[in-house]
Copies of this chain bind each other. A is one copy, B any other.
């Protein structure tokens, strides 16, 4: 096609989409808005901007320049937020280190990303001690600590003191919007962690589109300028879902809770009037069952749930407390948000409403999300036909860092492959039924392990379950259910009762008969990955 790009006047400002551009509006319209760090600190956006500038000077003095990598190991803090801005605004790369990984894995990711500078919270000094001799690229260490302490050996300085020593005006340069801004590592159940990465342009577009989708909702799950935001998925996990950037652009009050401790979190929600957060089911459950949970009014709190599937039981428990809980969908490779389970205003009735809140949701603005069959043909949006979920969005990772095989596999056929299996209904809602690898192939049919798990969980005696496929001579595979029984039911609940519970669903047509597991094993716990997801690979090996 004939090119016809716009003529650009020499002196015109072509406006690259850079993270620094997210600061114009909040500083113009909400300079006195607050940023709060646990019960330890609060300051205005105006001060936040000054601190970003001081950090720019600090890092420059430490030798950081365009192309450097600055790694952070911290709990959710005002410092981390400052790094979200200042590091990429220098043209450097912010590496968010997953502190839940094993020391060996942390070492691997720091070396693989070629981190130059490491900012590390005192809580992780023991881990650092262990891996420090094997760090191949990190030369500079900065301490993050809420209390005064002497500087560990080999450290250049402590964050606050370094900032105090710098001027509060810094001129962050313009550069190519496709410059790498952030990186972090995703851990599957197999192989080494893989690095994903995002450019300035991608983060700005993720911010605008996700914010837009959240804000346009008439009532349910909507974000607005009077909300108070606090993350409950950590900042090292896919930019805390990008919400810190969204909250900043909107000029919203932000609260960072430090290390997640249910009582402290409940106090912060209460005191700071937190109204918007995102979390994983485990944390939500912790908040609901904490001893002082009922002393805190949680009604009006909006909470996106992701990471692993929200069960209807947990969703109902949250709704009963007045929490506007709904699922989001995405993964490390997608920055992460690509879909949100926002409700339309039509009245669906309670069961349908809960089911809609639990599903993966509808695509965020600009996202082209489809389910495809093995030939990459698009499946009909009939709410039944399952296929692999593939995505195109302006903010997906363009590959895995220095891993071209995995990159080509991720992008096979020009679509990002999520490896999730699901179906889309005519209203646009995506329902994930399984992971490609976790589908149970039995007698020529596909059984969704997640659907079976969801039904098992409806029994009050069940605390947790994992359903896996085990080899079977006759059927190829058969489902095996591993069940953790709630303490109060131990010894009072039998495999036969569980079978009866499941067969009743089969009779109602909610599940096919061949999907009901004959084999049920009561276990004390289930193998999990470092981010708390079921480790089905390990379970399959264990129970094969």
Residues of A within 8 A of B (CB): 1-15, 17, 21-22, 24-25, 28-31, 65-67, 91, 93, 173, 175-176, 178-180, 197-199, 204-205, 208-209, 211-213, 215-218, 222-226, 249-250, 344-345, 362-369, 381, 392-394, 396, 398-399, 401, 404, 407-408, 410-416, 424, 426-428
Contact = CB atoms under 8 A, between A and B. Distances in A.
Interface centre among A29, A209, A392 (most CB of B within 10 A): A29
A216 to B, nearest CB: 5
A408 B8 CA distance: 10
A365 B250 CA distance: 8
Given A12-B414, A408-B10, A3 B66 contact: yes
Given A368-B24, A411-B9, A362 B29 contact: yes
B399 A12 contact: yes
11 contacts: A1-B65, A2-B66, A5-B176, A5-B180, A15-B396, A21-B368, A24-B369, A30-B428, A204-B366, A208-B365, A216-B223
B394 A17 contact: yes
Given A6-B197, A6-B398, A11-B411, 19 more contacts: A2-B91, A3-B66, A4-B66, A4-B93, A6-B180, A8-B399, A11-B413, A11-B414, A12-B407, A13-B415, A17-B205, A21-B394, A25-B366, A28-B363, A31-B426, A216-B223, A216-B250, A218-B225, A249-B365
B215 A215 contact: yes
A198 to B, nearest CB: 8
Given A25-B364, A212-B215, A8 B398 contact: yes
Contacts of A225: 216-218, 344
Given A5-B199, A226-B345, A22 B366 contact: yes
A67 B3 CA distance: 7
Given A9-B408, A365-B249, A4 B392 contact: no
A92 to B, nearest CB: 8
Contacts of A204: 366
Nearest to A362: B29
A528 to B, nearest CB: 30
A427 B179 CA distance: 33
B66 A173 contact: no
B215 A226 contact: no
Contacts of A205: 17, 208
A209 B250 CA distance: 11
Nearest to A223: B216
Please list the 3 inter-chain residue pairs (A to B) with the smallest Cβ-Cβ separation, ordered nearest first.
A215-B215, A1-B66, A9-B399
Interface centre among A4, A12, A29, A209 (most CB of B within 10 A): A4
A173 B408 contact: no
Nearest to A252: B216
Given A25-B365, A66-B3, A218-B224, A392 B15 contact: yes
A114 to B, nearest CB: 11
Contacts of A173: 1
Contacts of A410: 9
Nearest to A177: B5
Given A28-B428, A212-B211, A414 B363 contact: no
B212 A4 contact: no
Nearest to A91: B1
A428 B179 contact: no
Nearest to A410: B9
A213 B207 CA distance: 13
Contacts of A12: 396, 398-399, 407, 411, 414, 416
